Chain A
Amino acid sequence: MAEEQKYEKYYVPASSPWPIVGAVGLGLIAVGAGHTVINMSNDTEGYGVYILLAGIATILVMLVGWFRDQINESMSGLYSNQLSDSYRQGMAWFIFSEVMFFAAFFGALFYARVIALEWLGGGGNNAMTNEVLWPDFSAHWPLTETPGGTTTQGMGWGGLPLYNTLILITSSITCHFAHVGLEQGKRTQLKVWLGITILLGLIFLYLQGMEYVHAYQDLGLQLDSGVYGNTFYMLTGFHGMHVTLGTIMLIVMFFRVLKGHFSHDNQFAFQATSWYWHFVDVVWVCLFIFVYVL
């Protein structure tokens, strides 16, 4: 019994219906998305879209229910410090997995640009590759004309991309100010800076949308215009999805702050969101350098 006084008891969460709801939701999304894509490529009608939407709805219900339970448990003080540590470490590893996901696409960008294109243009010992397969092709970046002959224009880094970089870096700083406000118990500072961060996130997303319109309509830069368009849209697109998710998380945090949640000692959700936001920002800086500038 002495042990029990010495060590804090770990709170083992009770069983919950939400994980299995989440599994059903992911299953529906996978089936639905698969069939949607297949139907699209065959130009046929099918139930794919409805299954996909049902899956997304299930996941949304799961997220709301699961997080509601978590928040209630957290607010009623069930969680030990050790459990908060588990959550923090879990979030950190999740962000690491996200880093590796982006690494795959950055890797594809480097490989295509530095190795594949050079070889297609006759570099290394590949003179005959160029001579026999693509005699008219010379390697260049941005790839404005593919070996197959698709043409496009390159996206510059000035203008919108530069503004977006400044906006996102600023939002990381404002997010930090909000966190400092939380740490010091200055609720007004917390609310104002958090609100500004959300606003900057939304502006970023709006400008990104404008940039896509500009790329599609004015530059002819599309998802299928060769490996330059592929890497451009896949990297900025997945990043955009992460910004969207991060903004939603920030908005949830904003409402929780308005309801008086979080304190110096109980702030895991806020901290996780701010980590996520900084991560999204770092990815953007890499994107700006490697996709736009270089």
Chain B
Amino acid sequence: MSYAAGEADHNDHHHHAPSGITRWLFTTNHKDIGSLYLWFSFTMFLVGGAMAMVIRAELFQPGLQLVDPHFFNQMTTVHGLIMVFGAVMPAFTGLANWMIPMMIGAPDMALPRMNNWSFWILPFAFAILLGSLFMEGGGPAFGWTFYAPLSTTYSSDSTALFVFSVHIMGISSIMGAINVIVTIMNMRAPDMTYMKMPLFVWSWFITAFLLIAVMPVLAGAVTMVLTDKYFGTSFFDAAGGGDPVMFQHIFWFFGHPEVYIMILPAFGIVSAIIPAFSRKPLFGYASMVYATGAIAGLSFLVWAHHMFTTGMPVAAELFFMYCTMLISVPTGVKVFNWVATMWRGALSFETPMLFALAFVILFTIGGFSGLMLAITPVDFQYHDTYFVVAHFHYVLVTGAIFSIMAAAYYWLPKWTGHMYNETLGRWHFWLSLISVNVLFFPMHFAGLAGMPRRIPDYSLQFADINQIVSIGGFAFGLTQLLFLYIVIKCVRGGEKAEAKPWDGAEGLEWTVPSPAPYHTFETPPEVK
């Protein structure tokens, strides 16, 4: 608390947030920008979720009833794009903005103005993407992976808008990542050595590196799609000497590190929450750091496991199969460490811990189905079925999104100065947990039985399973409105939160009052 005394001495003029709309438009404050990211992400989560509701409503029964297939394709495509680039990534960037400076004892992010720029690009990018849905011929309908020739020869006119909106999203992500990495390298409090950093900071450090390495490759891929479609190049056209499969190589060279971009920060969050509610330090800190690094390194060597059915040479298929399986080793280290952290701990089950526990179990299920998909000959059967859909929704919804919710409940007292309503939080958790499993677990069976993904109709034997899945989907969607209510209620009032509302929590963010002052560490804090 010696720090809080020092805080009061500072001249006060910019301790309070400026008011009015310009505060949000011109802000350079990491907390404001973090809040903007988080609210934007939640808005996109609801928009993308509404599209998922359309998909599930159409799939409630076999046959075509609500929407025509072209619109269905636009819904699956834009749902994927929005959830990946609009919901999950900005949520993690928002958490990074809020928490990293506080966790490493820095006054703000290293490059605060660029920080504002990275955020404000996003609303424009997604307005363009969503706007293209209303153009003649419709918006993107080629799947979020925009494989050539679907995105080149067979795509609608508006593809150019898709390309440029992805370009500016990429600019935003790269600037955000540069900011995070420079903040971590250059802004740590003097005694905050690398191996003392909280794991959330470590995982974002590595994530930021992945972002800077692969977002430009995505920019290259969309550029080639643009020139192939509009300017007569033939990168992905065999008649001109190119190859449609080359698109998949370039895309997945971006795409596989991208999926780790969406899960590594989740590992960091869970590694903060589980020790706090087990009242024990994290088991195996150093091995957690190395495992995260190993996962990131391997992520560059596994991209073609998304393409086992494209007719690659057998040697390549084997290489990518073994590399992919290798990833389960560092991931297994992490799961082991989380469980070992809880071993003989004094556990309590507040909402953040519930979400973190569900993350460990359900993410591991997603990891196991991933391992099944990694086996080349088996993947020939599973490829492009609902098994794949089940797999990546387990890692992204019960993985990434559950961790984001855990993080929100864990840090809401620090952000707002109020405790959220614990009863409602638990209702939100249990309803989410049950509905999400009703939603995604039966998809495994539909996929194993051969139901293909991204098709608006299906044969009769899948009807029961799809009805169950749709009911789970609607329930999960509605439950998230409860989350919105809980957050708004917590922002507006509630029981006063102490500086450290969780008695087992560790880290510099708990040494400052709740809500955290507008500017946190103008002089570096003492790090033990």
Q: Is B178 an interface residue (CB 8 A)?
A: yes
State the CA gap A110–B372 with chains docked (Å). 32
State the CA gap A179–B190 with chains docked (Å). 32
Contact pattern, A 36-48, Cβ under 8 Å of B = 1, otherwise 0: 0110111000000
Q: Is B145 an interface residue (CB 8 A)?
A: no
State the CA gap A78–B227 with chains docked (Å). 45
Docked-complex contact A30 and B161, CB < 8 angstroms? yes
Q: Is A289 an interface residue (CB 8 A)?
A: no
Docked-complex contact A104 and B250, CB < 8 angstroms? yes
State the CA gap A186–B224 with chains docked (Å). 46
Q: Report the nearest A residue to B137, measured CB to CB.
A: A38
The binding surface of chain B is classed by DSSP as helix
Whole-angstrom distance from the CB of A53 to the nearest CB of chain B?
15
Q: Which of A124, A143, A226, A230 has the most CB of B within 10 A?
A: A230
Q: Is A181 an interface residue (CB 8 A)?
A: no
Contact pattern, B 224-262, Cβ under 8 Å of A = 1, otherwise 0: 101101111111001111110110011001000000000
The binding surface of chain A is classed by DSSP as helix
What residues of A have a CB within 8 angstroms of the CB of B106 in the complex? 10
Q: Is A275 an interface residue (CB 8 A)?
A: no
Whole-angstrom distance from the CB of B216 to the nearest CB of chain A?
4
Range of interface residues on A (Cβ < 8 Å): 35 or more
Q: Report the nearest B residue to A125, measured CB to CB.
A: B313
Whole-angstrom distance from the CB of B183 to the nearest CB of chain A?
8
Q: Is A15 an interface residue (CB 8 A)?
A: yes
Q: Is B99 an interface residue (CB 8 A)?
A: no
Beyond A20-B26, A23-B124, whether A90 also contacts B182 by CB under 8 A is yes
Docked-complex contact A108 and B121, CB < 8 angstroms? no
What residues of A have a CB within 8 angstroms of the CB of B240 in the complex? 146-148, 150, 224, 226-227, 230
What residues of B have a CB within 8 angstroms of the CB of A228 in the complex? 241
Q: Is A131 an interface residue (CB 8 A)?
A: no
Contact pattern, B 73-100, Cβ under 8 Å of A = 1, otherwise 0: 0000000000000000000000000000
Whole-angstrom distance from the CB of A73 to the nearest CB of chain B?
11
Known A4-B523, A34-B161, A226-B240; 8 more pairs at CB < 8 Å? A16-B116, A19-B113, A90-B114, A93-B212, A116-B246, A143-B241, A224-B231, A230-B240
List 17 A-B pairs, Cβ < 8 Å. A7-B190, A7-B523, A15-B116, A19-B114, A20-B116, A20-B117, A38-B158, A85-B186, A86-B182, A100-B216, A119-B243, A146-B241, A147-B241, A227-B235, A229-B233, A230-B242, A234-B227
Using a CB–CB cutoff of 8 Å, the interface residues on chain B facing chain A are 6, 9, 18, 22-23, 25-29, 106-108, 110-114, 116-117, 120-121, 123-125, 127-128, 132, 157-158, 160-161, 163-165, 167-168, 171, 174, 177-179, 181-183, 185-187, 190, 212-217, 219-221, 223-224, 226-227, 229-235, 238-243, 245-246, 249-250, 253, 313, 519, 522-524, 526
